[in-house]
Amino acid sequence: MKEVISTTSAPAAIGPYSQAIKCGSLLFCSGQIPVNPATGEVPEGIQAQTEQSLANVKALLAAAGTSIDRVVKTTVFLADMSLFGPMNEVYGRTFSEPFPARSAVAVRELPKQVLVEIEVIAEV
C-alpha cells in the first residue's frame, strides 16, 4: 500500500507527482532541487545548492518519520560533471558510513536552471 508523504518544509510538487511515497518499509523521495521552500529562492553556487537540496531531502525524511542516516540509495543529477567535486564535499559532510549507494549523472538541463537535484530512497 502506498502512502503519500508531503511537507511544506520542502518545495511543493509542481506537477503530477508526490514529494515522497512510503511503500512498506521504504520511502521514495522525488528529486529535490535547491529551492528554499520559505522564500522560493535558489542559492548561488553548487555547494550552497547542494546544501539546500539536502535540506529539502531531510525535511521529507522527517515528515515520514525517518532521517538521513536511514538513506540507502541516492541519485545526484548535475548540470555539469565539473561540479562533482564541490558537490561531493557537501555530500560527504551530510552522509556518514556506511554511505548510501549512489549514482551521479550529468544531465542536459534541470528545472529552474539549477545546478543539482538529489533524490533518495530510505528505510522508514
> Which domains, and CATH codes, for the chain?
2-123 (3.30.1330.40)
| 7-16 tens-digit pLDDT | 999 999 989 9
How crowded is the C-beta side of 6, counted as CA atoms within 13 Å? 9
Prediction pTM value = 0.97
20 pLDDT more than 90:
yes
Cα 45 to Cα 25, 52, 79, 91, distances in angstroms: 35, 11, 12, 14
Place of cell 541516492: 74
